[in-house]
Amino acid sequence: MMRCLMYLLFGFALIFNVPTLNAQKKKPLLDPSVRKLGPYFGVQKGKYYVGEIGMEAQFKDIKLVKPKTHALHAGIEYNIPNNVLGFNAGYWHKPSRVDLTYGFDVTLRSNFEEERYGISPVIGYKLFGFHIRVGYMLLTPSKTFTETNTLFINLRFILVNNRKFKWNNRKKKR
């Protein structure tokens, strides 16, 4: 009796799950996206104040629910009192409209005598053109070159001067 009941339940499960297993997701008729490109400038505060400038490219899906944004950026930073120059490049991702940004930076710092390399995981919040980020730089060790931020917060503003819309139309089957 128990075995018959198990076969019956298993049979019902297969019957009702088959349409969902074989269902294909249709692409929407329009799949709009936008690419934004422009310079940014900002200030970074940790142990030291650092000014920064660079370029950022953002790739955003235009959707009503959960529009994802991806961005790549590269820039330079300079700490005037301590004569430290930094180069960084990175990526961040924003999974929905009102969500945090998650990303990382690859960085190089130099005091013109010694260099330090590293990576920096960052978390932030972006609203309009402003992007506030918090991160920790994992740099190569050095006993003499310590005039750089490890734990930091920075505020950037991007000036979008190139915006391209893309309308990906779904091709109809013949």
pLDDT in tens, 12-66: 555 555 555 555 566 666 778 899 999 999 999 999 999 999 999 999 988 888 8
Running DSSP on this structure, what letter comes out for residue 46? Answer: S
Residue 138: what pLDDT?
A: 97
pLDDT at 1 over 80: no
Residue 33: what pLDDT?
A: 87
Residue 158: what pLDDT?
A: 97
* E strand or H helix that includes residue 157: strand 151-158
> What fold is seen in the domain 30-168?
Porin (2.40.160)
Cβ atoms of 91 and 104 closer than 8 Å: yes
* pLDDT per residue as tens digits for the range 87-99: 999 999 999 988 9
Query: What percent of the chain is modeled with pLDDT above 70?
Result: 80
pLDDT at 10 over 60: yes
Residue 147: what pLDDT?
A: 93
Summarize the confidence of residues 3-16 as an average pLDDT: 63
Residues 6+ positions from 170 with CB-CB distance below 8 Å: 26, 27, 28, 29, 30, 31
